[in-house]
């Protein structure tokens, strides 16, 4: 998979309106500034269009699939139309199912509960914990981090060729890394999986908000993603793809909505006839607003023109990478190298800085929100940092004091709603912090680096050579 920006002029596409774009935050050095949200990889701000659609629907809220009243019927139509819209957005095949969940994590745990009992699972150590950890009841082979896309395919082919006995197998792979933003060779990995009789699930949490995802074109068996990364509010996700394993599995949750018929047996027990549609794994009253918000986001991105959005984001990626390259103390983390195509997710470390300290200074002194830590991808970040897998360090909870080396990194991420000014401010802030140091004192509190109430730091110019 590659991103092409040929014949596309990023200047024709302005940032999409998002919630919070006018929010101001206080600075420890005095005054306020418009908040620069550069943590899209964790949760992207909701599109204004999505929020407006949800607000317009809210007065008509009704329980779906259960009511004869007008609002219930309207809500049911909206819920099922949202399913069709998501299927279209993902390029689903005619017999694919779209199951609504709470998140990417929930989607992959659902699939883990649905795989055959003797299924072997193959997953790279580079995965986010959402796709690394759900396979607790399966025989799992963890694959080492590849250093090129070709090596990723070769590693998978060798592992699949060596598996025994020959039986059901599942490959789990990310579409775009939540640490480096690099695009993985999904189509080639799918071909390798299918050539060896395995299936493949794509974790598209970081890919879907930045790049078109087409299940049929990529030839993957399932796709999982979260609404809150796709410019929708929290609390909803999607698992879309082949129906057979989902139809054969026990319902993910047992309860109303998943069952077609329940009757008492002569022996006093209960006989249940479960749905064979997506409803089988959607027990309970669904998150109708969350589902509608995902569909609204899918529609908004499609109508905005994904090609132009991709082109503009690639221009932002270029600016950030070139700006960071101008600061010798900064090292950008990468698996596949500088020429690898990537989305707007970039992680780095700064020589002489604790990552938590640097992120805290960006927030407190410049009003810039980034992420520091291991990004719920501990094995990958430790591999990229060259640290021992047993070294201490927790996601978002560094143990080092300000100024000490930490085992974490800093991540800046952006997307369709990011203004140019946020990127410019971020690059200026990185340069100033490295050249001049922080203007405020910081301390560690509950595992986080926070501004000290004591006040202004003794500023010292840092060496740049």
d(CA 292, CA 85): 10
Return the SS3 of 213: coil
- Selection from 123, 195, 72, 120 nearest residue 379 by Cα: 123
CB 442 within 8 A of CB 361: yes
Given its phi and psi angles, is residue 231 left (phi above 0), alpha (psi -120 to 50 degrees) or beta?
A: left
DSSP state of 22: T
Given its phi and psi angles, is residue 127 left (phi above 0), alpha (psi -120 to 50 degrees) or beta?
A: beta
Chain centre distance of CA 338: 22
Residues 6+ apart with CB under 8 A from 86: 98, 238, 240, 294, 295, 298
Residue with tokens 């999409």: 16
Q: How far is CA 1 from each of CA 9, 175, 217, 235, 315, rounded to the nearest angstrom? A: 21, 9, 11, 29, 18
Q: Which residues of 152-170 are buried (b: 16+ CB within 10 A; e: fewer)?
A: bbebbbebbeebeeeebbb
Give me the residues paired with residue 176 across strands: 183
Q: Which residues of 279-306 are buried (b: 16+ CB within 10 A; e: fewer)?
A: bbbbbeebbbbbbbbbbbbbbbbeebeb
CB 81 within 8 A of CB 57: no
d(CA 210, CA 149): 19
H or E element: which one contains 120? strand 120-124
Catalytic residue among 13, 92, 298, 376: 376
Residue with tokens 């006093």: 268
d(CA 449, CA 398): 8
- Selection from 269, 252, 271 nearest residue 261 by Cα: 271
Residue with tokens 């998150």: 287
Whether 13 is catalytic = no
The catalytic residues are 376
């Amino acid at each position: 998979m590659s991103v092409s920006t040929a014949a596309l002029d990023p200047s024709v596409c302005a940032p999409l309106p998002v919630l919070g774009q006018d929010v101001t935050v206080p600075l420890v050095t005095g005054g306020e500034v418009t908040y620069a949200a550069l943590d899209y990889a964790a949760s992207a701000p909701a599109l204004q269009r999505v929020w407006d659609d949800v607000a317009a629907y809210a007065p008509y809220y009704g329980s779906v699939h259960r009511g004869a009243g007008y609002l219930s019927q309207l809500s049911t139509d909206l819920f099922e139309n949202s399913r069709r819209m998501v299927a279209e957005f993902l390029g689903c095949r005619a017999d694919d199912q779209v199951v609504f969940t709470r998140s990417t994590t929930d989607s992959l745990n659902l699939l883990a509960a649905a795989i055959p009992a003797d299924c072997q699972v193959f997953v790279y150590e580079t995965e986010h914990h959402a796709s690394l950890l759900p396979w607790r009841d399966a025989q799992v082979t963890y694959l080492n981090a590849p250093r090129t896309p070709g090596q990723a395919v070769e590693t998978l082919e060798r592992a699949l060729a060596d598996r025994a006995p020959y039986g059901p197998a599942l490959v789990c792979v990310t579409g775009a890394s939540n640490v480096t933003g690099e695009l993985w060779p999904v189509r080639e990995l799918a071909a390798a999986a299918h050539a060896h009789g395995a299936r493949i699930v794509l974790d598209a949490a970081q890919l879907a908000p930045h790049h078109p995802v087409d299940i049929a074109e990529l030839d993957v068996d399932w796709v999982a993603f979260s609404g809150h990364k796709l410019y929708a509010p929290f609390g909803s996700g999607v698992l879309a793809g082949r129906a057979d394993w989902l139809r054969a599995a026990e319902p993910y949750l047992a309860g109303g909505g998943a069952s077609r018929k329940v009757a008492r047996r002569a022996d006093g027990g209960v006989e249940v006839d479960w749905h064979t549609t997506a409803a089988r794994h959607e027990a309970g009253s669904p998150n109708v607003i969350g589902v509608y918000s995902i569909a609204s986001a899918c529609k908004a991105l499609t109508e905005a023109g994904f090609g132009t959005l991709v082109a503009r984001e690639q221009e932002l990626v270029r600016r950030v990478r070139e700006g960071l390259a101008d600061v010798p103390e900064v090292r950008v983390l990468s698996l596949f190298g500088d020429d690898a195509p990537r989305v707007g997710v970039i992680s780095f470390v700064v020589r002489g800085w604790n990552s938590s300290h640097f992120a805290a200074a960006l927030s407190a002194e410049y009003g810039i929100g980034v992420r520091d830590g291991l990004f719920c991808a501990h094995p990958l970040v430790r591999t990229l940092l060259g640290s021992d897998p047993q070294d201490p360090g927790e996601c978002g909870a560094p143990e080092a004091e300000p100024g000490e080396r930490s085992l974490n990194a800093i991540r800046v991420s952006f997307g369709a709603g990011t203004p140019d000014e946020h990127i410019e401010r971020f690059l200026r802030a990185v340069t100033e912090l490295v050249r001049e140091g922080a203007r405020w004192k910081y301390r560690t509190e509950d595992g986080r680096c926070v501004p000290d109430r004591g006040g202004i730091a003794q500023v010292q110019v840092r060496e740049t050579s």
